[in-house]
Chains A and B, each alone.
Chain A
Amino acid sequence: MLGRRGTLPFLVGPPLLWLAALFVAPLFLIVLFSLRPESGMVAPGRPWDPSLAQYIQVLKTPSFLRLLGTSTLIALGVAAMATLLAYPLAYFLAFRARARATLYLTLLLVPFAASYLLRIMSWKLMLGPAGVINSLLSSAGLISEPLDLIFTRPAVVITLVYVWIPFAALPILAAMQRIQPSQLEAAADLGAGPWARLWRVTVPLSLPGALAAFFMVFIPTVGEYVTPTLIGGTGGIMYGNLISDFFGRGGNWPFGAALAMLMLLLTVVLVVAAARAVNLRRLIS
């Protein structure tokens, strides 16, 4: 039987190789692209001197920086809402669903069986002028003209929260399932009522899961571009759309790479700052 040292390469090696080839190497290439001085396409073999020209150009464009700020705020809002809405769901599954927990968990995961695009497109139908919401309000006599629900920034936020709730519930559920019933019983024995047990036992012990859920939603949402493209309209565009446009439609990879690297940098700074602020290491231990 192999010892710890013997098994480590087999356990860690494959995922490390996978990440090195499909994450670290592409990221390194993006860094290289972002340091190219010229605009436009990137041909292999074309000589170049590393330059910060693309970064300087991004930093000199206030509208790009404002959109980065707005997208970060949207991501924070979506992450907070998805985590808050997922929390009671996870609580129900962990403590109330009992024998039916597996069934409910399966139901929670059913949306993942449908394509991401299909789920977004279904919101397009829901929020449209002749969509479900407007039709309901209209037939109830509450509105005479359809509300402008789609092609707005709130439409993007609503859809993203919907998309992320099931994801956010999973790490919270995992954290709650690690809470020993004896801890809750001990709190009850010491006179803690249901709310006190929730606030002073369940919430603190499930906080690492909630924080994991928050970051799991926040990090990809900052760079989101599919949902804004489909239902955001002209006012719902996010920073990710700029990156996508420069890499795709604009064919300007160096500038797109600089935009992407600045977003990555900001996200890392925010996540590290938040982790320090809540003392994540202590919480997890």
Chain B
Amino acid sequence: MPVHFSRRAFALLAGVSLALAACTQAEPQEILVMEWDGYQDPAFFADFQTANPNVPVTFEYGVSDADILGKMEAGSQADVFHFYSGWQQFYVDQGLVREIDTTKLTNWDKVPDSFKEQGQIDGKQFFLPWDWGFSSILYNTDEIPEVTSWDALLNPDYAGHVSMWNDGPAAVTVAAYIHGWDETAITDEQLAQAEAEWIAQKPLNTFYWSSEYTDLCPGIMDGTIWVAYAWPGCYATALYEGTPVAYANPVEGRNSWIGFYGISADTDSYELALAFLDAKLADVTMANVVNLFYYGAANQDVMDAIEDPILIEAFGIDDPSILETTNFTPPVTDAQRTAWTAMWARVQAE
């Protein structure tokens, strides 16, 4: 028997259907971020919270670039993800990232072109540059003379007072700088040599540091660590605390890295993710990155406004030649990353 709807019931059904359809088409009003521990501090998305006080921002965490890529690849529901130089190509090759519509970013003009280019693959802007910094040797000027080379990390005179970052690719990078190898074309023989040298270096370390602020900085500031692979954050922190430290300009050049945000290919909240990334580049948030974490910001207005002499020194702003001698982190292949990580595991196991 056919069912007959009254006009009122039909209108009600149609209204409910339209409302349901609207609900299903609207973007979810929440953002899930794949982040590094520490960046969940509201200071690092302050502008977004101010503009969107009712949008919840939640986090998943990764402990390394490999871990973050692995979690995104394994199906994380994160809308945006944060990673560092050298890993861009993986996300594009595996279809994990969506191109950024920069015309919708109100703060995009504040980002220098050189940074923008670092986030492009085949001319498309897949990634938004956000934070940046150097890697170099941080050393205690009361305990040791001026450091002019990365090989200070392997100097037996500093036995018991060295701290290398607990990271295989970084260990290979340092070996490549010291020996003048092409970092992107490390041979098996070179890798074996690097492994032998890091095994010999192992007893010099007090510990390998994993966390800049909870492992390395306390060791630098209490005088246990005299020489360390370090980022500017710990350098500035130690200077503020009055620790006699310097940040080396090795003859081989410092290393430099950029942090990027990407929008997940699977996100249902593309527009909101764009708004989130745009706010990430806004002045208050970027100033917090500089003033609270002592990392460089992709927002040039914020960098130009720095007056603190400690931060000027930490970022090398007063040294116009600093970028000419800096080694930017190159992309690595999956096979290289796996081999370098395995090499470092063997060093640790010895």
Q: Residues of A with Cβ closer than 8 Å to B? A: 39-44, 61, 63-64, 66-67, 128-130, 148, 151, 229, 232-235, 237, 241-242, 245-246, 248-253, 255
- Which residues from chain A contact B334 at a C-beta distance below 8 Å? 39-40
Q: Are A245 and B75 in contact (CB under 8 A)?
A: no
A189 to chain B, nearest CB (A): 58
**Inter-chain contact total with CB atoms closer than 8 Å:** 93
- In this assembly, does B224 line the interface, its C-beta being within 8 Å of a C-beta of chain A? yes
B208, A61: Cβ atoms closer than 8 Å: no
B residues touching A (Cβ–Cβ < 8 Å)? 63-67, 69-70, 73-75, 94, 160, 166-168, 202-203, 205-208, 210, 222, 224, 334, 337-338, 341-342, 345-346, 348-350
Given A40-B334, A233-B207, also A67-B349 (CB < 8 A): yes
Q: Does A64 contact B346, Cβ atoms closer than 8 Å?
A: yes
Name 14 interchain pairs, CB-CB below 8 A, sorted by A. A40-B70, A42-B74, A44-B75, A64-B345, A148-B160, A234-B205, A234-B207, A242-B349, A246-B341, A248-B64, A249-B67, A251-B67, A251-B337, A255-B342
Q: A41 to B69, Cβ gap below 8 A?
A: yes
Chain B positions within 8 Å of A151 at CB level: 206-207
* CB-nearest residue of chain B to A259: B345
Q: Is the beta-carbon distance between B349 and A237 smaller than 8 angstroms?
A: yes
Cβ A249 vs Cβ B349 within 8 A: no
> Is B349's CB under 8 angstroms from A248's CB?
no
The CA-CA distance from A61 to B67 in the complex, in Å, is 23
Q: Collect the chain B residues with CB atoms within 8 Å of residue A232's CB.
A: 207
A245 surroundings in chain B (CB, below 8 A): 341, 345, 348
Closest to B208 in A: A234
**Are A43 and B73 in contact, CB atoms less than 8 angstroms apart?**
yes
Other than the given A64-B346, A64-B349, 20 more pairs (CB < 8 A) read A40-B334, A40-B337, A41-B70, A42-B73, A42-B74, A129-B222, A148-B160, A151-B206, A234-B208, A235-B202, A245-B341, A245-B345, A245-B348, A248-B67, A249-B166, A249-B341, A250-B338, A250-B342, A251-B337, A253-B70
B341 touches A242 (CB 8 A): no
CA distance A129 to B221 in the complex (A): 13
